[in-house]
Structure 1
């Protein structure tokens, strides 16, 4: 199902940027983060990110490697709950995603069905009539959605794949969305990856950017440890995903 690929890309888009900027050397220091070397600032930021229980991320842009520009906007937590959407850009379609407990709801728009499911997509769109597809988290067809919605999946990627190598540099303190932050840039394989690290609090990253070698993307982080919204679609606004996919559209 095309929505599976979208969910997988949602996770990969944010994880790629985070993995590439961390150095993988666990170093602790005092709270005068602005005076630390660039690698230690990156480490502090990574460790702080691993400690949060929920967050909001907005990833947008082009990661290169023949990947089209897209936007991922998700609020997610360690319990596997999430709310948000994935926009493929260029009128290629958008999918709303809600995951709460064992329930998963997806609402692709008309452009998604037209461009991502060219054979029969319009029939699925007509059946849904603006409603959500609803499935169970145990449904293997929805596994990429479930994984993309779980902050623990994201944390494992960051923890297990923190990379080494490259050159780290520290920039001048700046402001990102009203937050005072110190930029740390890692240059590796013709790509420049910059983490803007909050100089206060737990020194969390507020933005990470990647540029070069065909890539131009950014991930903004906010809403740390704030609960994921609990609202889910009512029954009369949903269609069972198995019932929907069981309707074989005409290929004529």
Structure 2
């Protein structure tokens, strides 16, 4: 599979190998039970999501006037689309840390909803990745990656290899590998790609249509509609890209907030960590 899920399955499924070593390392009694992470709540909005990202070098034209004085927050709602995109691009490039909710594609087909806090300078992050069946907690610090699946993760992805008691035991443990492991590099790349708010602007250009102001999670936003989706920009300075909703039969959305707020990345307690066998 070449993704995080494959790392766990490989580690847990090798005959007379990693599967038994993980069970042995996760030694607490199955009856003690491990914490189970509840899936994120659903809202009426499309699921926060992000498709595969590729860096762009394109720059949409702007209509910013060289003779205009300094722009204030009060001016922002009245700016042209070109001016808004220019200001949003500048704001996005100042983002060093961010909270992002999005959907990343794994193996080109499998989708996982991520809810992560990312330090874009160090590329460290913490948060969760989930499907409609289970939740993984995930931490990246330096070249190390830790993940912790809930009971359903082990039951579903274990494909019958683990009993309910095994799943409770494994759900109490963090599993550590390295970010160069092909089994986890896909999700690392997906999270880091999704953490770039400039992605919202790839769908917009100066001929896109500005719509009336909207409110979303405490933000006053300027919606800008384009053929592939609608971007939502902060209606004050800095003009951060806040949201993108794509068009199509299954609309997807990216949500960004907590710009440049501290992101603390701490390693899980050593007593709860199991090192995955190296391939």
State TM-score, norm by structure 1.
0.72
Kept after mapping to 1: 8 A contact 2:114/2:130: yes
> How is 1:68-87 mapped onto 2 (pairs within 5 angstroms)?
71-78=113-120, 79-87=122-130
2:271 alignment counterpart: 236
Residues 130-168 of structure 1, C-alpha deviation per residue, up to 9 Å, x if partnerless? Answer: 1011112333332223323436x8549849x93677961
> How is 1:33-72 mapped onto 2 (pairs within 5 angstroms)?
33-59=76-102, 71-72=113-114
Cα distance in 2, alignment partners of residues 97 and 5 from structure 1: 12
1:172 alignment counterpart: 212
Kept after mapping to 2: 8 A contact 1:95/1:108: yes
Number of residue pairs the alignment of both structures matches: 227
Residues 61-104 of structure 1, C-alpha deviation per residue, up to 9 Å, x if partnerless? Answer: 99xx9766x53201101211101111212xx2111111112321
Kept after mapping to 1: 8 A contact 2:127/2:138: yes
Kept after mapping to 1: 8 A contact 2:60/2:206: no
State TM-score, norm by structure 2.
0.66
2:154 alignment counterpart: 113
Gaps of 5+ in 1: 247-252
Question: In the alignment, does 2:241 pair up with 1:185?
Answer: no
2:245 alignment counterpart: 209
Secondary structure at the aligned position of 2:226 is classed as strand
1:226 alignment counterpart: 261
Gaps of 5+ in 2: 8-47, 65-69
Cα shift at 1:16 = 5.3
Secondary structure at the aligned position of 2:264 is classed as coil
Instruction: Select the structure that is richer in helix.
Output: 1
Kept after mapping to 2: 8 A contact 1:45/1:205: yes
Cα shift at 1:57 = 0.8
Instruction: Select the structure that is richer in strand.
Output: 1
